Amino acid sequence: MTDNKIIEKVSVPRNILSKFTKEDPELILQTELIKKYGERYRKYRKNYNTMLNDDEHKSFFDYPLTIVLELVNRCNLECVMCYQGYRNDAKQYIIEEKILDKIFDDFEKNQLSALMLSSSEPLLYKNIEKVLNRAKEAKIMDLFLFTNGALLNEKNSKMILESSVSRLFVSIDASTQDTYNTVRVPVSKRLLKENRLDYLENNIKQFVKMRNRLNKKIPIVRVSFVALKENRHEVESFRKKWVNVVDSVEIQRETSIKVYDRLKKENLAQPNKRSLKTYNCNKPWGDLAIYSDGTVGPCCNLVGRKAPIGNIQNNTIKEIWNGTKMNKIRDGFRKNSPIKVCQICLESQEYNI
């Protein structure tokens, strides 16, 4: 692959509409992480791709491949596509130290392959450096840090570069300040008077420069754009702005915020009229989500909060993963008759471009 050739990835998760890179990020990660973890990393990626493409759900792993971890259910933004009922409008929960100790011991014991620090803004968590250190100690190979980038200052950038973070994913969703203010609304409204997008873009560019000065290839840096009605006119300008700056640019499908209104209004114990012929999701065979109050959900999507499968304070991850509630969700997809939460989620996905 030449540096000036832009490729669009085809074999990607269903939530991604298009992906643009100069060099395949997975090849970069493979080269760097096989040096560190050897055959264990190869096996993880093989299992991940098996799960991603196994629409008949014949494969099963006795421990999640990926765990999503929410550290605090707060964000410094109130984005139009993000439901705040589990974040800024909800009772605040900060994951307890004893729970962190428990789950990281569990991760190390079971050799967790991938951890995503996500769901809310992880850089708001005061002890984020300790979490990054615990992930390194647990030998978690693929450590994702999802952020809106507003707190990606020099101090935090250095912390991330000294950690074992393998992927830094920054959500932007705009290429102009006006659209950024429309889509990514700050909690502190006085910030609407500032050029927040310029500050964010500089944060990302400085991070890449710092990484390159250290002769590091990872963490790879991805910027993403959820295609909405409010911003879809900027998809192409966003791609052009970033494709030669970061390692990966993704245009993503929206899960409509209207899904939460449906979840509130409908009786989740009763079936409803189907709008799709086929319902399929591979996530229950690969992922679990642990939220800041200890609740465990079946996938990375916040909709999964309405289908709790356990609480980490009461059971181990393996017990929850192999438990009755999780298996009921899997059986629903095997029979093309998912639980109502999953059905509503799939029916609420919008493409917008």
pLDDT surpassing 70 at residue 3: no
User: Mean of the pLDDT values across residues 72-92?
Assistant: 92
Q: Is the dihedral of CA 314, 318, 321, 323 positive or negative?
A: negative
For 133, half-sphere exposure in the C-beta direction (CA atoms, 13 angstrom radius) is 6
Residues with Cβ within 8 Å of 240's Cβ and at least 6 positions away in sequence, in order, are none
Q: What is the pLDDT of residue 202?
A: 97
Residues with Cβ within 8 Å of 196's Cβ and at least 6 positions away in sequence, in order, are 150, 177, 180, 181, 184, 186
pLDDT surpassing 70 at residue 6: no
Instruction: Yes or no: say if 249 and 175 are a contact pair by the CB < 8 Å rule.
Output: no
Residues with Cβ within 8 Å of 184's Cβ and at least 6 positions away in sequence, in order, are 77, 79, 148, 172, 173, 174, 196
pLDDT surpassing 70 at residue 109: yes
Kindly indicate the confidence band of residue 292, based on its pLDDT and cuts at 50, 70 and 90.
very high
Share of the chain above pLDDT 70, in %: 95
What's the pLDDT tens digit per position in 110-120?
999 999 999 89
Q: What is the pLDDT of residue 267?
A: 79
Whole-number Å distance between alpha carbons of 93 and 17: 33
Q: What is the pLDDT of residue 2?
A: 33
Whole-number Å distance between alpha carbons of 90 and 106: 28
Whole-number Å distance between alpha carbons of 266 and 270: 8
Phi, psi (degrees; rounded to nearest 5) at 147: -150, 160
pLDDT surpassing 60 at residue 50: yes
The residue behind tokens 């390692």 is 247
What's the pLDDT tens digit per position in 148-191?
999 999 999 999 999 999 999 999 999 999 999 999 999 999 99
HEC string for 42-74 = HHHHHHHHHHHHCCCCCCCCCCCCEEEECCECC
pLDDT surpassing 90 at residue 106: yes
User: Mean of the pLDDT values across residues 240-266?
Assistant: 89
CA distances from 117 to 70, 173, 188 (A): 6, 19, 24
Residue 265 burial (C-beta neighbours within 10 Å; 0-12, 13-18, 19+): exposed
Q: What is the pLDDT of residue 330?
A: 96
Q: What is the mean pLDDT of the chain?
A: 91
Per DSSP (E only), the strands in 3-138 are 7-8, 16-21, 66-69, 114-117
Share of the chain above pLDDT 90, in %: 78
Q: What is the pLDDT of residue 14?
A: 60
User: Mean of the pLDDT values across residues 42-54?
Assistant: 94
